[in-house]
Amino acid sequence: MKFLFGNKEQQNKLLMRIKLAALFILMAGMLWAQEKLPVDPETGRIQYRDVVEQEGTKQQLFNSCVYWLNDFYKDPVRITSLRDVETGKIVGKHQFRIYYMDKDGNKIAAGMIGYDFTIELKQDRYRYTLNNFLFKSTTRQPVVKWMNKKDPAYDIRWDEYLDQVDKYARDWIASLKEKMKPAPEKKPDEW
């Protein structure tokens, strides 16, 4: 060992460099986790929003969206507060559960995250907005609070919760985009 790492002083320096490098990598990962969720600059809250180009009339896109709602949610009528064909707007509220792993590796329910969504449909395009993510507790605190690592109440599990919120939102978006694509035309069965 002495041949590879030199004397004790050189070994300590090498060990210190390794620890510093590991610390920098860990800090970079934490910063990345803080910035990976999109935050609306006007409200300061987490918001997923995009305009998607999709061929179809407003009516066709509206119908596709309603079919998606029926597939994605267990009770789509209860969660939507507006379904207006004329304006091409669908508005709703929903919630999902987040979890943490205890020291024994058990999956424990940590609480519910409520969110709002809006889908606006026009000729050949639609826009979705997912926002107002709130941790449902006695105070209903905004989830964006978990991104502040300097908060005196900071809990290491917040990073895991943020990952779950991000995964849910990205799965929601992917599911919507897939269902909004037009169904392939069926060829007549000629035999």
Q: What are the extents of the domains in the chain?
A: 1-35, 38-180
CB-based contacts of 56, cutoff 8 Å, min separation 6:
64, 123, 124, 182
The pLDDT tens digits of the residues spanning 131-179 come to 999 999 777 889 999 999 999 989 999 999 999 999 999 999 999 999 9
pTM as predicted: 0.77
What's the CATH architecture for 38-180?
2-Layer Sandwich (3.30)
Band (10; pLDDT cuts 50, 70, 90): confident
- pLDDT computed for residue 185 by the predictor: 74
Dmax (CA) of the chain: 84
Buried b (16+ CB within 10 A) or exposed e, 12-44: eeeeeeeeeeeeeeeeeeeeebeeebeeeeeee
Q: What's the gap between Cα 40 and its chain centre?
A: 14
The pLDDT tens digits of the residues spanning 104-113 come to 989 999 999 9
